[in-house]
Amino acid sequence: MAKVLVTGGAGFIGSFIVDELVKEGNEVVILDNLEPQVHQGNTPDYINNSAKFVKGSVLDFELFKKTVEDADVILHQAAMVGVGQSMYQVSRYSSANVIGTAYLLDILANEKHNVKKVLVAASMSSYGEGSYKCESCGIVSPPLRTEEQMKSKKWELICSCGKQLVPIPTPESKPLHPNSVYAITKQNQEQMVLTVCQAYGIPAVALRYFNVYGPRQSLSNPYTGVAAIFMSRIKNNNPPTIFENGGQSRDFVSVHDIVQANLLAMKSSAADYEVLNVGSGAQTTIKNVADTLIKLYGKEFVPQITSSFRKGDVRHCFADISKIKKLLNFEPKVSFEQGMQELIDWGSSQKSDDKVDQATQELRDKGLME
């Protein structure tokens, strides 16, 4: 049994991690500020009663220090999440994600504690574009598409040699090209944790989550994952709105597989000081997500493909999970359709305010969308 602190443990991912830790007999403390944008001012009813819940922020240094004091393991899940919003709430995202992590590392470097391991929730957004292959140039890591290309509606990436690139699974070795403030802060989080923990001999692992979906995602937060955003639209009898042509692709991974990865990394030393992709290893288009949800809901409408685009959007990024399989024997257990059905079943009893149009207009007003 370990004493485990889970920052952000009342959130979508963190709460499932807490449940599994409690189930396995660990003594768990949750530190969470119940972010209004996520929780709408409510304490979620799914918080595990067997865990100690401390309401507070990672930006409250003294409170953070008290929660760290007795912990053996820290699972640092707390973060502001939202790519587009991060571009006009720069200080808010930087404070929560970077300064909050800096406070944790200050505590580990300067205060008395018993911490023997740290896991940090990193993000695939730090890659920017994923990996690609050119039939002439081989494997390449291209920059983001130019605004001129996006305006011409030529969505796929073109190699410097002029040939169209083919997306391939993205390994951890790919150079990072974060394309938003959110992505930069997530890159900072993982690098800070790995660097400082290595200096002090505290084993640490950075888990780069791909597109996580599942129950407990806020259906009223238009900055959450695309599956929950589409569900919010469908539940309010509005068709999902899709940017570009819907052919952009991601790696959708069930929250249950994210939990599996965290528990494996916590218990094993095989991945200490490593960065690991956590995904399904499958490529899924955004249009396929919308079509799958519409089918499972039994609706008749079709996705609204707008041909609009958000500045800095990535075309393709899906995970090469061979490293986490090798080091931790990780194996995704939830198929895409199974996971989507579970999300729908859970969502049937949840309140859902469709704020997508409002969020889209904000992006337009800020000049971040065409």
> Residue 278's beta-bridge partner residues?
209
Encode pLDDT of 137-165 as tens digits.
999 999 999 999 999 999 999 999 999 99
Cα separation, 355 vs 221, whole angstroms: 7
Confirm if 283 and 167 have CB atoms less than 8 A apart: yes
Which of 90-94, 316-320, 350-354 has the weakest average pLDDT? 350-354
- Inside any domain, residue 316: yes
Helix (H) or strand (E) holding 9: none
- Inside any domain, residue 162: yes
Number of domains in the chain: 1
- Inside any domain, residue 312: yes
- Inside any domain, residue 234: yes
- Inside any domain, residue 370: no
pLDDT exceeds cutoff 90 at 368: no
Which domain CATH number covers 103? 3.40.50.720
Q: Which domain holds residue 82?
A: 3-365
Using DSSP, state whether 289 is helix, strand or coil: helix
Answer positive or negative: Cα dihedral of 116, 122, 127, 132.
positive
Percent of the chain surpassing pLDDT 70: 94
Alpha helices in 3-158 (DSSP H): 12-23, 36-39, 61-69, 83-86, 90-94, 100-110, 147-151
**Based on C-alpha coordinates, what's the Rg of the chain?**
20
What does pTM read for this prediction?
0.94
Cα separation, 274 vs 340, whole angstroms: 30
> Residue 40's beta-bridge partner residues?
none
- Inside any domain, residue 226: yes
- Inside any domain, residue 197: yes
